[in-house]
Amino acid sequence: MVRLESWTPLEIEPEGIGGPEELVQRLEEWGPQDLAGLVAEEKAVVFRGFDVTAEALPAVIALLLPVGSGHGAGWEGRAVDAVCRTESGRPGATIWPFQKMSAAHAWPTRLAMYCDTAPLSGGESMVVDAARWLAALDPELNERLIPGVRYVRYLHDGSGFGERWQSTFRTDRREQVELLLDGTGDEWAWQADGGIRVSRVLPATVRHPVTGTEVWFNQIHRWHPAGSGPQQTLSRILPEEKLPWNVTFADGSAIPGHTVSEICGVGFAAAVDIPWNRGDLMLLDNVSLAHGRRPFTGKRRICVAMSS
């Protein structure tokens, strides 16, 4: 196993007038190109001590994320409540690091995270350098994953765990579902119980669009029954074919549980904790870094915006 090098995000604090006014001024001076280069090099930039308010947030986000791309454009004119979430569910649980939408056909390359309410204790964001995660894994596993991984979803017909296919596809007509799936490249098959199984093969690693660095980029440890996600609990009460989510090797063969344990262990060992104070902002490269969350007490409200 390769020894992981240490990594921490770049932290920027006020130097002049302070407040969100100074942050806006500095971001304007950098411009989109310099900011993009900084994020590609540093992987994450944390802005502390600027005391960004909900009222100042849209102006800051417009400078942090490319205008008119992805979800970033949706911030302008929107209330903070529309993009913030209060994490009251399972505050004692750990959310293991992953890249946003890495199990989808398309994903954001940049995330902006804003702390509207800091927890009483804990709640740090766990961040993992995905290049170091990949380098620390068994080379034989990396070789086995070259064809990619297969993500499998089972959507029931009204009775079962997880989502109904009618809710997922927003229709109760099978032919409409088939028409939607035919345009995605996903494989699908209706089941005898009225449910549908949908699968897609996606890369286990990708190359960063700017640096060209190959990075770990998948959600094996969240979709697999032996991993760190909700599947771990459901696998104890459901047969494999009825699991709402599952993941296999690209050819459909099972990924051993000990392999998933290795993946989790390596990622956990590489995690860097980033604490939150109210008004903090973090700009994060969603390809270079996986992010998760430590358990917390109190209330924790983090706003997340994304862009391509």
Q: Above 80 in pLDDT, residue 127?
A: yes
Quick one: 92 and 44 in the same domain?
yes
Q: Are residues 253 and 146 in the same domain?
A: yes
Amino acid 69: pLDDT: 39
φ, ψ of residue 115 to 5 degrees: the values are: -90, 105
Q: What is the percent of the chain with per-residue pLDDT over 70, rounded to a whole number?
A: 87
Q: What is the pLDDT of residue 18?
A: 85
Among residues 174, 219, 179, the alpha carbon closest in space to that of 196 is found at 174
**Same-domain check for residues 161 and 245:** yes
Q: What is the pLDDT of residue 2?
A: 45
| Residue matched to tokens 């969100």 | 20
pLDDT score, position 126: 95
Predicted confidence at residue 308, as pLDDT, reads: 75
Q: Does residue 5 lie within any of the structural domains?
A: no
Model confidence at 4, pLDDT cuts 50, 70, 90, reads very low
**Pairing of β 245-249 and β 95-98:** unpaired
pLDDT value of position 47: 97
Domain that holds residue 254: 133-266
At 282 the pLDDT is 96
Q: Is 143 helix (H, G, I), strand (E, B) or coil?
A: helix
Query: Could you tell me if 16 and 98 lie in one domain?
Result: yes
> Is 234 within a domain?
yes
What per-residue confidence (pLDDT) applies to 70? 41
What is the H or E stretch that residue 188 is in? strand 187-190
pLDDT at 136: 94
Within a domain: 3: no
The CATH number covering residue 213 comes to 3.60.130.10
Residue range 124-139: average pLDDT? 95
Mean pLDDT (the chain) is 88
157 shares a domain with 251 = yes
67 pLDDT exceeds 80? no
pLDDT at 74: 44
Total residues found in the chain within this entry: 308
Instruction: Report the percentage of the chain scoring pLDDT > 90.
Output: 72
Residues 88 and 52 in one domain: yes
Q: What pLDDT is recorded for position 266?
A: 93
pLDDT higher than 60, residue 290: yes
The pTM of this model reads: 0.88
Assigned domain for 1 exists: no
Residue 98 in 3-state DSSP? strand
Residue 4 falls inside a structural domain:
no
Same domain for 26 and 143, yes or no, is no
Question: Is residue 127 domain-shared with residue 137, that is, in the same domain?
Answer: no
What are the pLDDT digits (tens) for 14-34? Answer: 998 889 999 999 999 999 999
Q: Torsions phi, psi of 190, nearest 5?
A: -70, 145
Number of domains comprising the chain? 2
Q: Give the pLDDT mean for 62-87.
A: 57
CA-CA-CA-CA torsion sign (208, 211, 215, 219): negative
64 neighbors 70 (Cβ within 8 angstroms): no
Model pLDDT, residue 89: 65
Mean local confidence (pLDDT), 199-223: 95
> How much is the pLDDT for 84?
60
Has residue 111 been placed in a domain?
yes
Split at pLDDT 50, 70, 90, the class of 238 is confident
In a domain, 2, yes or no: no
pLDDT at 90: 83
Q: Is 99 part of a structural domain of the chain?
A: yes
**Residue 108 sits in the same domain as residue 223:** no
pLDDT confidence of 231, banded at 50, 70, 90? low
> Same domain, yes or no, for 170 and 250?
yes
Looking at the chain, the number of H-run helices and the number of E-run strands are 9, 18
Give backbone dihedrals phi and psi of 12, rounded to 5 degrees, phi first: -120, 130
Which of 244, 252, 219, 247 is CA-nearest to residue 165? 244
Does the structure show a pLDDT above 80 at 68? no
Residue type, 255: I
The pLDDT tens digits for 148-166 are: 999 999 999 988 888 999 9
Same domain, yes or no, for 175 and 219?
yes
Confidence of residue 239 (pLDDT cuts 50, 70, 90): confident
Residue 284 clears pLDDT 90, i.e. is over it: yes
**253 shares a domain with 152:** yes
